[in-house]
């Protein structure tokens, strides 16, 4: 199985790790984590990494020399590797004696050896006579073969003494020397790296606020809580086909008689086509109007009337003593005025056909809408420029219309749903949102404090409201983490550049906002901090996070 290596920087947070896992091209990913990495500060990060790897169906392994990272990774069940792989074992070639040419006056690439089995160097020798064939040598005495081979492969010192360095060789050596000097100079400035660890105190912090995403073309969009991006819109019209699953029995209807029972003390007038319903949901309608006398001396009034089933089918061929309630009379039509089947209803036959049901239409609209939104998201991704990304939860989908080709009850085996939609988004990356959260949080935290990077990375962001006309999306941001002293990392980096290591540590310890500070130089024999600011890597560790 091919492995894909993903090397993390010390400052990479969980968002960067998840993004790089999603972009993996291989099924087996090896995550290389440096010492003092930010993600190694909490076991929650490794749980998130494990969940993402499982969701993406990746085989994930970890390589790290950081004992804390190893401990957290093993706790969540991630595989630990000690090294990337084993070096291949070098094959040892067995020397062989090549056969001599039969007619050439030169012997090429012959390896000589003495009776003890030593293998001397290869040489080129002009021979007065061709060497005897290997088979002929095999017939001679060992001492004779050794003498002939040694004579054939003597060093020609004359060639070495006459060798002269030509001008083009001198030019080549000059370029090589200049290249070595240049590489040495670059290495002196670029190769040294300093890893600075700063520990500061932190305290719990929770806050909710909003951020507005607006179209960059809107000149009115400004403010600390406003983030602008590129507006994209996609409109689509798709037609999808679906199977009808409803059934209708269009067989012959059943007919019979119903005895209406009246337990009230008043006459009940029941109009024609009044519904009488069985406990199984079968509907019967009376064929004529009828008056039912009131109850007298404890006996209910009754009247018999003909009735016909509301639908076709053998299920309507019911028999006495089936009770039929009167839904039109409410509670009275259940126990005080009701019907009873007289004898048996007969004549119902089955003729079941497929029809479009109400559930069919609702489910088809839902599925067609889902499909058109997926297609619209693909179109939006195709419009992205280099370096842009779309966060799926920012895509706003609006259904303009969804029209089925058939109504409920239509006799159809299949039907279609035509959906018109509009999908739009304001293109901003996750990193830009995190920066906007950090900028907005400045106005929410106590003076002289700042939210930690991990707090920003773990912020919950949801769409609160969107408006297509104003091209704005309101985001609700929820922070639940920690804050610490406000540090100007760039100023600290500039003050440490090209300083002796001891003085750099002393300078860190003298800062009232810093609890402890340490410096590690690579290579270790250097005594000064790097001159290049990018080679000074500063990691802020918030105690309690």
Q: For residue 60, what are the CA distances in angstroms to 3, 95, 412, 440?
A: 10, 45, 51, 36
Higher-confidence residue of 348 and 188: namely: 348
pLDDT band at 224 (very low <50, low <70, confident <90, very high): confident
Q: Are 444 and 405 in contact (CB under 8 A)?
A: no
The stretch 195-199 carries a mean pLDDT of: 94
Which pLDDT does position 146 carry in this prediction?
A: 52
Of the chain, the percentage scoring pLDDT greater than 70 comes to: 82
In the predicted structure, residue 119 carries a pLDDT above the cut 90: no
Mean pLDDT lowest among 132-146, 389-403, 458-472, 506-520 = 132-146
Q: Name the nearest CA neighbour of 246 among 416, 366, 415, 402.
A: 415
Same-domain pairing of 257 and 343: yes
Q: Are strands 472-485 and 449-451 parallel, antiparallel or unpaired?
A: antiparallel
DSSP 84-138: S-PPPPPPPPPP--PPPPSS-SEEEEEPP--TT------EEEE-SSPPPPHHHHH
Same-domain pairing of 367 and 344: no
Q: Name the nearest CA neighbour of 426 among 393, 473, 487.
A: 473
In the predicted structure, residue 147 carries a pLDDT above the cut 80: no
> How many Å apart are CA 45 and CA 209, to the nearest integer?
25
Which pLDDT does position 33 carry in this prediction?
A: 92
Q: Are 17 and 46 in contact (CB under 8 A)?
A: no
Same-domain pairing of 22 and 41: yes
pLDDT band at 247 (very low <50, low <70, confident <90, very high): confident
The stretch 14-36 carries a mean pLDDT of: 89
Q: For residue 537, what are the CA distances in angstroms to 33, 253, 497, 500?
A: 15, 87, 11, 16
> How many Å apart are CA 76 and CA 73, to the nearest integer?
6
Mean pLDDT lowest among 119-128, 157-166, 275-284 = 119-128
Range of the domain at 76: 3-81
Q: Assess if residue 276 is contained within a domain.
A: yes
> How many Å apart are CA 123 and CA 133, to the nearest integer?
19
Same-domain pairing of 338 and 382: no
Average pLDDT, the chain: 83
Q: Assess if residue 222 is contained within a domain.
A: no
Q: Are strands 283-286 and 79-81 parallel, antiparallel or unpaired?
A: unpaired
Which pLDDT does position 545 carry in this prediction?
A: 83
Same-domain pairing of 333 and 291: yes
Cβ count within 10 A of residue 167: 7
In the predicted structure, residue 102 carries a pLDDT above the cut 70: no
The stretch 14-28 carries a mean pLDDT of: 88
The stretch 62-90 carries a mean pLDDT of: 77
Same-domain pairing of 121 and 76: no
Residue 414 phi, psi dihedral angles, 5° rounding: -135, 160
Q: What is the CB-side half-sphere exposure of residue 92 using CA atoms within 13 A? A: 1
Which pLDDT does position 116 carry in this prediction?
A: 42
Of the chain, the percentage scoring pLDDT greater than 90 comes to: 52
> How many angstroms from the chain centroid is the CA of residue 366?
25
> How many Å apart are CA 273 and CA 289, to the nearest integer?
8
The stretch 524-538 carries a mean pLDDT of: 89
> How many Å apart are CA 220 and CA 228, to the nearest integer?
11
Q: Are strands 290-292 and 268-270 parallel, antiparallel or unpaired?
A: antiparallel
Q: Assess if residue 52 is contained within a domain.
A: yes
- CA 330-332-333 angle, to 5 degrees, is 70
Q: Assess if residue 458 is contained within a domain.
A: no
Which pLDDT does position 100 carry in this prediction?
A: 42
Q: Is 266 exposed, middle or buried (0-12, 13-18, 19+ CB in 10 A)?
A: exposed
> How many Å apart are CA 467 and CA 445, to the nearest integer?
29
The stretch 466-483 carries a mean pLDDT of: 93
Q: Assess if residue 496 is contained within a domain.
A: yes
Same-domain pairing of 316 and 256: yes
Task: Tally helices (H) and strands (E) across the chain.
Answer: 13, 26
Q: Assess if residue 171 is contained within a domain.
A: no
- CA 454-456-460 angle, to 5 degrees, is 115
In the predicted structure, residue 121 carries a pLDDT above the cut 70: no
Q: Assess if residue 471 is contained within a domain.
A: no
Q: What is the pLDDT of residues 294-341, one digit of tens each?
A: 999 889 999 999 999 999 999 999 999 999 999 999 999 899 999 999
Same-domain pairing of 237 and 362: yes
Q: Assess if residue 223 is contained within a domain.
A: no
In the predicted structure, residue 448 carries a pLDDT above the cut 60: yes
In the predicted structure, residue 115 carries a pLDDT above the cut 80: no
Same-domain pairing of 76 and 137: no
Q: Are strands 275-277 and 283-286 parallel, antiparallel or unpaired?
A: antiparallel
Same-domain pairing of 26 and 68: yes
Domain count, the chain: 5
């Amino acid at each position: 199985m091919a492995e894909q290596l993903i090397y993390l920087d010390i400052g990479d947070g969980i968002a960067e790790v998840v993004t790089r896992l999603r972009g993996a091209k291989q099924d087996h990913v090896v995550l290389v984590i440096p010492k003092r990495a930010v993600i190694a500060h909490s076991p929650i990060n490794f749980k998130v990494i494990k969940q993402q790897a499982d969701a993406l169906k990746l085989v994930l392994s970890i390589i790290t020399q950081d004992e804390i990272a190893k401990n957290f990774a093993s706790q969540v069940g991630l595989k630990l590797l000690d090294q990337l792989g084993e070096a291949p074992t070098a094959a040892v070639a067995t020397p062989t004696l090549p056969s001599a040419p039969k007619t050439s006056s030169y012997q090429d690439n012959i390896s000589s050896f003495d009776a003890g089995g030593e293998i001397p160097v290869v040489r080129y020798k002009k021979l007065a006579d061709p060497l005897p064939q290997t088979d002929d040598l095999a017939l001679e005495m060992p001492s004779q073969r050794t003498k002939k081979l040694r004579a054939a492969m003597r060093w020609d010192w004359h060639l070495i003494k006459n060798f002269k360095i030509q001008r083009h060789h001198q030019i080549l050596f000059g370029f090589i020397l200049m290249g070595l000097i240049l590489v040495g100079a670059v290495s002196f400035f670029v190769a040294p790296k300093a890893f600075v660890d700063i520990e500061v105190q932190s305290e719990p912090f929770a806050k909710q606020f909003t951020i507005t995403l607006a179209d960059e073309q809107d000149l009115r969009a400004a403010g600390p809580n406003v983030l602008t991006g590129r507006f994209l819109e996609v409109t689509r019209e798709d037609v999808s086909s679906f199977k009808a699953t409803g059934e209708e029995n269009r067989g012959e209807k059943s007919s019979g008689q119903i005895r209406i029972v009246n337990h009230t003390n008043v006459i009940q007038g029941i109009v024609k086509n009044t519904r009488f319903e069985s406990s199984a949901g079968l509907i019967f309608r009376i064929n004529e109007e009828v008056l039912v006398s009131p109850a007298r001396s404890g006996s209910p009034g009754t009247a018999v009337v003909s009735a016909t089933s509301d639908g076709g089918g053998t299920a309507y061929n019911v028999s006495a003593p089936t009770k039929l309630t009167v839904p039109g009379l409410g509670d009275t039509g259940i126990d005080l005025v009701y019907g009873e089947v007289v004898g048996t209803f007969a004549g119902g036959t089955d003729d079941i056909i497929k029809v479009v049901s109400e559930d069919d239409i609702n489910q088809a609209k839902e599925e067609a809408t889902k499909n058109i939104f997926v297609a619209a998201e693909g179109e939006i991704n195709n419009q992205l420029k280099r370096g842009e990304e779309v966060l799926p939860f920012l895509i706003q989908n609006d259904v303009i219309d969804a029209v089925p080709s058939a109504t409920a009850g239509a006799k159809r085996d299949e039907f279609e749903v035509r959906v018109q939609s509009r999908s739009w988004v304001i293109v901003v990356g996750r990193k830009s949102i995190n920066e906007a959260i950090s900028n907005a949080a400045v106005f929410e935290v106590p003076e002289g404090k700042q939210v930690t990077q991990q707090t920003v990375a773990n912020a919950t962001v949801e769409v609160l409201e969107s408006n297509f006309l104003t091209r704005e999306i309101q985001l609700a941001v929820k922070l639940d983490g920690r804050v610490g002293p406000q540090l100007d990392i760039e100023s600290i980096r500039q003050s440490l550049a090209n300083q002796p290591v001891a003085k750099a540590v002393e300078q860190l310890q003298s800062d009232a906002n810093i609890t402890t500070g340490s410096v590690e130089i690579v290579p270790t024999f250097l005594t000064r901090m790097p001159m290049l600011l990018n080679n000074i890597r500063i990691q802020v560790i918030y105690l309690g996070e």
